[in-house]
């Protein structure tokens, strides 16, 4: 298992140049890269939803002159070949309808010698408290899928490795990271997860199998109280084209 400092050290050796962040979400990866990269020229964050509807973790990222956001499908990037020096995507592989196609697009827009950072949580080799997060996430994914939203169960570690290896990158380094600090039954931690469960129950209220969905939610809530929760281990891959 690696620590955050080891991952930041690897990223800190990279001159980012023009950086593309795919499925940028709340801009958290861009904020991380601004702090961790050796240097950079400019960021473009793209997402399949309207970025202006997001709540950003750091509003200064959204307002920065060297950060731009566009609505764009990761499977069909409206960007020129070899137009970026660094491409990142984190916590998103299991949100892509065809992750292999997204990997192809990453390689297309990345210049030779450019760097890639890919990271996502995985479903296997987790502790019991981490499995609470995995099981909840898979329940969320089933609800989203029923609502027509691209969201699958998280991949195994080997499946993520296979996707990365299929890109043909050179000198790929893998880092496994988990934050297991704090008690698994910490009130703030469990209450956050409970709020997420409540939010998804509200999203699912009109689905025909809502009774079954609600029963699964009750099982998850009992597990939260009895077992607790820690975030699932993530795998980060850093490679060069």
Tokens of 44: 């473009």
For residue 51, which of 77, 25, 16, 17 has the smallest C-alpha distance? 25
Span 143-198, pLDDT tens digits:
999 999 999 999 999 999 999 999 999 889 999 999 998 898 888 889 999 999 99
Domain of residue 142: give its range: 4-240
> 146, 118 in Cβ contact below 8 A?
no
Relative orientation angle of helices 128-146 and 210-226, to the nearest 10 degrees: 160
Average pLDDT over residues 69-96: 97
d(CA 131, CA 127): 6
**Torsion from C-alpha of 97, 98, 101, 102, nearest 10 degrees:** 50
Residue 55 has pLDDT above 60, yes or no: no
How many domains are contained in the chain?
1
The CATH number of the domain where 104 resides is what? 3.40.50.150
Joined together, the tokens standing for residue 178 give 């988990």
The pLDDT > 90 percentage for the chain reads 85
Give the pLDDT confidence of 90-143 residue by residue, as tens digits.
999 999 999 999 999 999 999 999 999 999 999 999 999 999 999 999 999 999
């Amino acid at each position: 298992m690696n620590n955050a400092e080891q991952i930041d050290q690897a990223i800190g050796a990279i001159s980012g140049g023009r950086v593309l962040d795919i499925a940028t979400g709340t801009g958290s990866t861009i904020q991380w890269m601004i702090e961790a990269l050796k240097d950079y020229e400019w960021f473009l964050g793209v997402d399949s939803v309207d970025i202006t509807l997001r709540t950003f973790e750091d509003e200064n990222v959204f307002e920065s002159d060297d950060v731009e956001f566009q609505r764009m499908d990761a499977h069909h990037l409206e960007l020129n070949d070899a137009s970026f020096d660094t491409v990142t995507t984190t916590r998103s592989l299991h949100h892509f309808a065809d992750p292999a196609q997204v990997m192809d697009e990453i390689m297309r827009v990345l210049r030779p010698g450019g760097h890639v950072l890919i990271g996502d949580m995985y479903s296997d080799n987790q502790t019991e408290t981490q499995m609470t997060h995995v099981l909840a996430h898979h329940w969320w994914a089933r609800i989203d899928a029923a609502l027509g939203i691209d969201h699958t169960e998280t991949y195994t570690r080997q499946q993520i490795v296979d996707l990365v290896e299929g890109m043909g990158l050179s000198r790929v380094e893998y880092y496994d990271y988990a934050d297991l600090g704090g008690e698994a039954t910490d009130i703030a931690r469990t209450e956050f997860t409970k709020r997420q469960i409540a939010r998804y129950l509200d999203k699912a209220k009109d689905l025909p199998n809502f009774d079954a969905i609600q029963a699964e939610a009750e099982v998850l809530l009992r597990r939260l109280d009895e077992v607790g929760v820690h975030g699932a281990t993530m795998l980060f891959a850093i490679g060069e084209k």
